[in-house]
């Protein structure tokens, strides 16, 4: 299902996938301001080729479900990266090195805010780590990662075997 959404153009799956993600997010505690929903960014060439950013579609649907305030362009992928499928953890980290930045025009929006980083699939964690690092450097209060699917470490080549809780 997630592959059909990500690579097959089945963007109509976004509401269903977002509802499934929303069910696992903590209940709204009524604090203000709400968390920022920040999609993992695509480079403009990948966006042009695919036609949509699947993480942005999920973040938009999560905002409609009341899970936060949409911030679709807070993170930018200013450097193109190769497709990460099939790459191991170290190769993914190297490919993402320096690729993610904070949109300086939106910097005033993040100070002290809680953020939910939205993605479709978390594989090695390299993309999430790059995004979280930039968000924390920008002064956000906290970052949680919300994704539809998680690839088991055993399925990722060259994975450092670390026990995860």
How many folded domains does the chain comprise? Answer: 1
CA distance 84 to 137: 24
Is 164 inside any structural domain?
Answer: no
Q: Is residue 146 part of a domain?
A: yes
**pLDDT score of 95 more than 80:** no
Each residue's pLDDT tens digit, 115-161: 999 998 887 778 889 999 999 999 999 999 999 888 765 544 554 43
Cα gap 136→141, rounded to integer Å: 7
CATH code of the domain covering residue 96? 3.40.50.2020
Write out the residue range of the structural domain in which residue 45 sits.
2-25+32-155
* C-alpha angle 18-22-25 in degrees, rounded to nearest 5: 145
Per-residue pLDDT reduced to its tens digit, 59-94: 999 999 999 999 999 999 887 776 666 666 777 777
Looking at residue 83, its pLDDT comes to: 65
Top-ranked range on mean pLDDT: pick from 26-35, 40-49, 60-69, 96-105: 60-69
Cα–Cα distance measured from residue 57 to residue 35, given in angstroms and rounded to the nearest whole number: 17
Answer yes or no: is 162 within a domain: no
Whole-structure pTM value = 0.83
Alpha-helical regions (H) of 85-125: 89-96
Q: Give the pLDDT confidence score for residue 101 in this predicted structure.
A: 93
Q: Is residue 163 part of a domain?
A: no
């Amino acid at each position: 299902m997630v592959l059909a959404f990500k690579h097959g153009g089945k963007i109509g799956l976004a509401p269903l996938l977002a509802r499934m993600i929303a069910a696992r997010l903590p209940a709204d505690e009524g604090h203000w301001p709400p968390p920022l929903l920040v999609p993992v960014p695509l480079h403009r060439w990948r966006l042009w080729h695919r036609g949509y950013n699947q993480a942005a579609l999920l973040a938009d649907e999560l905002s409609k479900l009341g899970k936060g305030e949409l911030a679709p362009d807070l993170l930018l992928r200013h450097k193109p990266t190769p497709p990460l499928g099939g790459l191991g953890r170290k190769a993914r980290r190297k490919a993402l090195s320096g690729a993610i930045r904070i949109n300086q025009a939106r910097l005033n929006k993040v100070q002290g805010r809680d953020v939910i980083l939205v993605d479709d699939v978390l594989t090695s964690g390299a993309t999430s780590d790059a995004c979280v690092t930039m968000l924390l450097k920008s002064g956000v209060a906290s970052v949680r990662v919300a994704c539809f699917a998680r690839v088991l470490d055993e399925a990722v080549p060259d994975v450092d075997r670390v026990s995860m809780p």
